[in-house]
Structure 1
């Protein structure tokens, strides 16, 4: 499994192709590449899924190419609209697209840059309530936390972060926003929330599940927001229109929705989408 990050503000298709060439294995390696263009925020779960898939498919090498959603969109649009070197069905350099959240995939669907019907939801991210690992007695729900007037809660800035916005929406949905208004300790991000909890500035903190897993040696999860309480973030993959091997793409898309993949994702703090 190979990966590469891009950080240039204007990502060109040529730069992407050069990046793929730099990831190309030695000629003696006969594994077929499976290229996934993705958001850096999904590096941990995608790398774990890629390793597991490669273990079961030694003839496939998963190559992960990370960039921001905006630059991924520019890169794909550049490939689709380039007047020179235009690709045709089955000849493109990208197999799958896995941005953070589904907004980009929706826009690419509208432009027919991804194949209709190929979108596959594979992971969700929910809010969780954390306390220091050493704390013995802790609230068992968000509502119980709100009812305890002694509790201060660390939250991310709702004006600057998605985490903060989701936390604010959760509190409103539960009807506890007003009760907690004077008891919230605002941090800059998830790392700040954890620091505030560990430093005693707050009794509990609200972060995303995967962030809690990363800090599992210092904090523990005491409550998880249900789908009814707080709408989780949904992550999906879709097949790029010029995907060079649709059968391989279909197989990987089926894999990320499998029970094995679900076990891997849950271990990392992600949820599995409810099947309709």
Structure 2
């Protein structure tokens, strides 16, 4: 990864939390940060007049204030700001062509650990050509620990693998780099369908799957020898298995098709469940 970490910043608490998370990631990976604000796509609750110059002024203030906060914490961070007139989703997707990742904020509500995904976030997460990360507003593991976003009880990067072919390689590369960056353990999750219990013993199938998974992981463990790895194989619905495994995750990684069918939902059920119910940041990684 050599491209910038691009943050969609609209001035909401969720987007500011996302900017803090992105700054930490960029600093650890020695990557630049781009704070992007679309003055034509601002939160509905922003108490400003509708005139374009006023919207632009608000956008400049949001960018300058957040940039100053990030540079105060990360003095050597390479950071730029962009105020654009294009719709936010369009601008973010264009940046995604050269970015290492896109980072978006999602509004958390009450004490429930979930996301409220707006249309912009869903559009970007479903179509971005690079990894896109959703960060929940009010996430204590981010807001209470800007120096190190991982809370003591959230010390794992969790990656869900629905396939063990080329798609797995794309997700594993992202997940191993993230685990190395965070100094975290990597938990690799595979779910066996409930239908498998009809024909074979659950224990035998899980043992076979662990063997297959070990073979897939072998070259990555050699490439990242300092990253501890846990193989998590369980029988049940894939979304539920992943949600259970993500309880201690500082980052959860899921995949989606790079070129989804126009007739299909851009985010599959597992990615959708993770984005709505995993308490920590969720990275959606496109793959062929």
Q: Same fold (TM over 0.5)?
A: no
TM-score w.r.t. length of structure 1: 0.25
Normalized against structure 2, the TM-score is what? 0.25
